[in-house]
Structure 1
Amino acid sequence: MAYLSREGDVFVVYLGNEGQTDSENRFHPDWINEFHGLLDEVEASEGPAALVTTATGKFYSNGLDTDWLFANLDKMHGYLDRVHSLYTRLLAFPMPTVAAINGHAFGAGAMLATSHDFRVMREDRGFYCLPEVHLGMPFTVGMNALLTERLSNQVALEAMTTAHRYGADQAIAAGIVDDKADAEALLGAAVARASILAGNRKPNLPVIKRALHAKALAGLATPTTPENLAFAAG
């Protein structure tokens, strides 16, 4: 499960199991609940603060827990809404957020990174990729809203319809991420960026974010139903 540490004014949420470096950090329902619980702890803090998310090893996050999903198809729509809840929470989070993308960010994991204010990516390994077109999977109404609002139109088209794998330099050029660092410097670079912004944790910050991301948030608030998922697939 995810776990929390703190470096000065910066909270760091690790997406994987403590001491384990090979987890894909997929969105199992229990993992989603644990992540929300850690965000609750961060929000309960006082004073200047910022949030960094990262992981260890090969993956930042490999997205949906497809093993669980295919074994629980009757719960699919509610599950996808719970996935959306993480994106919604991060988009309007009441402090600055930075994703330190240590490895592959695929599918829902890429969207998780996209939900942060800023992104720093490992420069020598790992891809940002939306593989849904190759998997025969639709984007939900909420996912489509998130991606088309956070990425430029042409980048969204390339990423969503070709499953292009973006390394750090291409991701920076496309405006998907903001900076890069080598593996050893990645977390420090993300924490440094977040630390500079920690003083911006003020009551007006989430108000600004909710207005800025109003269209994406509205899409993410749309419940996933058989009808609109079928429409997305069609």
Structure 2
Amino acid sequence: MGTKPVYVTFSQLANNQALATITMNSPKANTFDYSSFVALSDALAEVEAAPNVRGLVLQSGLDNIFSAGFNFPIFHNISRDEFLRLWVLGKQIYRRIHAMPVPSIAAVNGHALGMGCVFALAFQSRFMVAGRSTIGLNEVAVGMSVPEWLAARYRDLTSPRTAEKMLPLGRTLTAQQAKEAGLVDEVFETKEQMQAAIVSHIEAAAKFQPQAQADTYRSLRRAHLKLFDESFEADNAWCWAMVNNPATQQGLAEALSRLKSKPKK
């Protein structure tokens, strides 16, 4: 099980209820490409099909890294069809997580950058381990733009001013900074403390009447999902135009060149 790039485990809660945990376990910093999206989508489908799930957690099986986001070299000279297949699946995963009407937590034990942060933002809560790791949407720093629906989610969790200070500069935050900004809900000294707190949080939330809780989650998320759905096709076209822009492709080529010139450890 632990050798899979993504896998699901279920732990028992009270009253025959279950906590579902999806673990990302890819050796390359949990970076994303189409195959890893498929694995994550399949894991999510397993959770969606399971009975009596009352909580969802996304965590990393790697030390000091949640996810470094996209394996960005895949965007260099990517075709339109390849890009849209990748981008649409990633967005669908985000939507399915955000729409799931149960308590959900992203357990961030290390860096959560780019798409790693995107998936963390899909969850109701983000718990993070203190240290040198950072979390954030650093797209602009690598020559990409932040889509409207994603900027809106970041802004809703933090504030309009924080979003304006962070997103256009591709800035990321430490765990404590992220908590102060509202991007992260709780900060812990160790991964073990975080995991114990997650179980306690889910157990406490699972004591409430499931249907009443689920309906309330749906009400709270309806506005964001409406924006997401209404802009879906336009966003796909806009993001493809951005990736296919000669300036973006030149930036990717230069970044790849720098990576290749680095001495191998």
2:222 corresponds to which residue? 214
Secondary structure of 1:212's partner? helix
Shift of residue 198, structure 1, vs aligned partner: 2.7
Q: What residue is the counterpart of 2:193 in the other structure?
A: 185
Q: What CA distance in whole angstroms lies between the structure 2 residues aligned with 1:175 and 1:167?
A: 12
When structure 1 is superposed on structure 2, of 50-59 and 67-76 the one drifting more is 67-76
Bigger proportion of residues as helix: 2
Moved more, 55-64 or 39-48: 39-48
Q: Distance in 2 between matches of 1:12 and 1:88?
A: 18
What's the RMSD between the two structures over aligned residues?
Answer: 2.6
Aligned to 1:59: 65
Q: Post-superposition shift, 1:143? A: 2.3
Instruction: Give the CA deviation at 1:128.
Output: 0.6
Partner residue in 2 for 1:226: 237
> What are the ranges of 5 or more consecutive residues in structure 2 without an aligned counterpart?
13-17, 246-265
Aligned CA distance change for structure 1 residues 227 and 203 (closer, same or farther; 3 Å): same
Q: Does 1:50 align with 2:50?
A: no
Contact 2:47 2:53 in 1 (8 A): no
Q: Does 1:131 align with 2:127?
A: no
Task: Tell me by how many angstroms 1:71 deviates.
Answer: 5.0
Match of 1:6 in 2: 10
The answer for the alignment partner of 1:161 in structure 2 is: 168
Aligned letter for 1:67?
Answer: P
Is the alpha carbon distance of 1:52 and 1:225 closer, same or farther for their aligned partners in structure 2, counting shifts above 3 Å? closer
| 1:166 Cα deviation after fit | 1.1
After superposition, the Cα gap between the structure-2 partners of 1:40 and 1:201, relative to the gap in structure 1 and judged at 3 Å, is: farther
Spell out, residue by residue over 1:30-54, the C-alpha distance to the aligned partner (whole angstroms, 9 max, x if none). 2112212112222222225211111
Q: 1:219 to 1:16 in 2, by over 3 A?
A: farther
- Deviation digits for residues 138-157 of structure 1 (CA, Å, limit 9, x no counterpart): 12233233323333212222
Runs of 4+ in 1 over 6 A off after TM superposition: none
Asked if 2 retains the 8 angstrom alpha-carbon contact of 1:98 and 1:190, the reply is: yes
Mark the structure with the bigger radius of gyration: 2
Distance 1:172 1:37, change over 3 A: same
The answer for the alignment partner of 2:202 in structure 1 is 194
CA contact (8 A) 2:88 2:236 kept: no
Look up the equivalent residue of 1:51 and give its one-letter code. Answer: L
Q: Identity percentage over the alignment?
A: 23
Q: Distance in 2 between matches of 1:169 and 1:215?
A: 29
Is 1:108 aligned to residue 115 of structure 2?
yes
In structure 1, the residue corresponding to 2:9 is in which secondary structure?
strand
- Residue in 2 aligned with 1:36? 41
Residue 163 of structure 1, CA deviation: 2.5
2-structure distance, mates of 1:173, 1:209:
24
Judge conservation of contact 2:64–2:133 (CA < 8 Å) in 1.
yes
Matched, 1:23 2:28: yes
What is the distance in 1 between the residues matched to 2:200 and 2:32?
28
Query: Which structure ranks higher in relative contact order (CA pairs < 8 Å, sequence separation ≥ 6)?
Result: 1
- What is the DSSP-based 3-state SS (H/G/I as helix, E as strand, rest coil) of the residue aligned with 1:13? strand
Deviations 1:88-127 (A, max 9, x none): 1111113210111010000111121111011110012411
Is the CA contact (8 Å cut-off) linking 1:54 and 1:101 kept in structure 2? yes
- Matched-pair contact (CA < 8 Å) for 1:91–1:210: no
Unaligned residue ranges in structure 1 (runs of 5+): none
Moved more, 93-102 or 147-156: 147-156
**Cα pair distance change 1:39/1:170, threshold 3 Å:** same
